[in-house]
Amino acid sequence: MAQTLIAPSVLAADFANIQRDVTMINQSMADWFHIDIMDGVFVPNISFGMPVLKAIGAHAEKPLDVHLMIIDPDRYIQTFAELGAEILTVHYEACTHLHRSLQAIKQHGMKAGVALNPHTPVSLLKDVLGDLDLVCLMSVNPGFGGQKFIEHTYQKVRELNTLRREQGRDFLIEIDGGVTSENALALKEAGADVLVAGSFVFNAEDPLATVAHLKALTQ
């Protein structure tokens, strides 16, 4: 199996020292930056917007994996492309015309992802799997970092992995929320390709060693 990608979630970084934490991710064995954009409407929290993303992008040396937890994301697709997002993920629950949104993301030169909240079944994606580069399964309720991992996620990963295999697709399966060294290997074995880790990395005594440990566990 291919080595699992690790994407530290900048939501858990120290916003007063964001350049320091971006540099730390650059120097680590992490593969992507995971950046949560929240509007306080789709989720009960407001994270950061375009100016902060631009500042992160100015220093980031790894791909920006941007996760939009916002209503009406189509309004901002071009903006996020201009800000350097390599992967842009929208929520199934926030897109009335999901196929159109995915096509717009790709037309702007980005990889297209869809995120599912914990209560949303993976079967709802079967008609758009051919349009996807990534499916992000929320393993906590979206909006806040530091939450407890929802165990049902393993079953959803297995179901999505089966759908991927049956359809002959090559999209990546990403897990977002509550990822630690306790569940990383089990998630990989269930079929996950990308693990988003926020508090577990940034709250660690040695974030560089923590990222390296996650990589070693899942290689």
User: Which entry of 36, 39, 131, 193 is annotated as an active-site residue?
Assistant: 36
Judge whether 74 counts as a catalytic residue.
no
User: Which entry of 21, 65, 176, 193 is annotated as an active-site residue?
Assistant: 176
CB 8 within 8 A of CB 34: yes
Judge whether 72 counts as a catalytic residue.
no
Residues catalogued as catalytic = 36, 176
